[in-house]
Structure 1
Amino acid sequence: MIVRLPALAPGLRIGLYGGSFNPAHAGHRHVSRLALRRLALDRVWWLVSPGNPLKDRRHLPDAAARAAGARAVAADPRIAVTDFEAALGVRFTVETIAFLTDRYPQVRFVWIMGADSLASFHRWRGWREIAARMPFAVIDRPGYTLKAMASPAARALASSRLDEAAAPTLAERAPPAWLFLHGPRNGLSSTALRAGTFPPAS
């Protein structure tokens, strides 16, 4: 099996931002640029997933088509778009993280998720293993700040939460380690774009 990854090298600080990207939009770019700046990352990879196991995938375009659309939206040389999970044949984030951390232990990976994902993180397969393998950053999203911080996963991992001021060092931290990043928020969502509805500005 040949799995082609974006360029990487020992010591690079790479943020992993997974999702369906159906479709990719400016909100994804906003989160990525915020993470690049606040976490002092060298790159962010958009991991275009074969499909979220927690969502209906019956009408989901194939990963290659979604990746092509994402590349048009990314518009930043520091953002690499990849659908390698489809080639790898994985369905769950924990499998992707195990693959990368086992094979590239000298790369400083950080998982990036929105506050909405933290709110449901306890439903992800192997979420405790994810937290044990890789530091992660949670990006605030409108309407999810309180839900995220009150979620079962946030409570279970409270002792490994870092102060937001530690953001530039997160990539160097041994997991479990995570933090919540506040800042300008973008309310765009792929669901709203598909439905032709948009949330109010915040």
Structure 2
Amino acid sequence: MHSNTYINSSRSIGLYKRKNMRIGLLGGSFNPAHRGHIYISNMAIKLFKLHEVWWVINPQNPLKSSKSTAPLKERINYARNLIVGNRIKVQSLEDRYYTKYTYHTIKKLLQCQPGNKFIWLMGADNLSQINLWINWNKIFDIIPIAVFNREGYSRTVISSVAANYYNQSLYNKQNLSKIFKRDLPVWVFIRLRKLPYSSTEIRYNRKRNN
């Protein structure tokens, strides 16, 4: 059952009236959101010349246990309080569109927002297991994808099912903002310095300190 937690937010509704925007979609549980998410978002804004990055917080990751996942409203509120500035927005598109899987959520968003351009942002850990997602290959067919390296995952990415399947679609140009003009499928692997914090690390430290 969907709670429509974020549908009535004026901050959310206002976004959907704008056009000709380049928007990054950073999906995940955000359990909890942290500085690493902010770092990736700001880098994406810079590299791809994005107007905004939307944090797409899912109600429940089908591949993760619900026991360790905080309630959706709690995660949304925590993420919103963490953000500084107005170029990073918090969204719960699955809750809004009554969708469960990433492919269906993105497909619905693209149908509702034909006037904007989107790129899916994800960590290398997610690319290594994206082949377990429902309709994972169709995601590549409808939206550009940017994969941000996480320490210890470079080799995993190179040997992953998705990277090998879409090897010919890897974007290697310096001007990343032109990725929106490329035919799909297209994806890019971005090597960054070690990201500050991870949700897993934060949850571990919380348990240790309790």
Q: TM-score, normalised by structure 1?
A: 0.91
Q: Distance in 2 between matches of 1:76 and 1:170?
A: 26
Partner of 1:115: 124
Aligned equivalents of 1:176 and 1:87: distance in 2?
A: 27
CA distance in 1, matches of 2:163, 2:38: 25
Q: CA deviation at 1:5?
A: 4.4
Residues 1:135 and 2:144 are matched in the alignment: yes
Deviations 1:139-158 (A, max 9, x none): 11101011012100000011
In the TM superposition, 1:182-193 aligns within 5 A as 182-193=191-202
Which stretch of structure 1 is more off in the superposition, 88-97 or 166-175?
Answer: 166-175
Residue ranges of structure 2 left out of the alignment (5+ in a row): none
Residue 187 of structure 2 aligns with which residue? Answer: 178
Q: What code does the residue aligned with 1:195 have?
A: Y
Contact 1:5–1:84, Cα closer than 8 Å, also in 2: no
Deviation by residue 1:34-61 (Cα, 9 ceiling, x = unmatched) = 1111111110000111111101013422
Q: Percent of aligned positions with the same letter in both sequences?
A: 33
Letter in 2 for 1:153: A
The offset of 1:117, in angstroms, is 0.7
Contact 2:169 2:186 in 1 (8 A): yes
- Given that 1:18 and 1:49 are in contact with CA atoms closer than 8 Å, whether structure 2 keeps it comes out as yes
Map of 1:20-99 to 2, 5 A cutoff?
Answer: 20-99=29-108
Greater shift in the superposed pair: 33-42 or 6-15: 6-15
Structure 2 distance, partners of 1:166, 1:117, is: 24
Aligned pairs for 1:142-181 within 5 A: 142-181=151-190
4+ residue segments displaced more than 6 Å = none
For 2:193 and 2:128, the matched residues in 1 are separated by 19
Unmatched 5+ residue regions in structure 1?
Answer: 198-202
CA distance in 2, matches of 1:5, 1:196: 36
Following superposition, the deviation at residue 191 of structure 1 comes to 1.1
Q: Which amino acid aligns with 1:63?
A: L
Question: In structure 2, what is the Cα distance between the partners aligned to 1:101 and 1:107?
Answer: 8
TM-score of the two chains, using structure 2 as the length reference:
0.87
Secondary structure of the residue that 1:10 maps to in structure 2?
coil
Partner SS for 1:58: helix
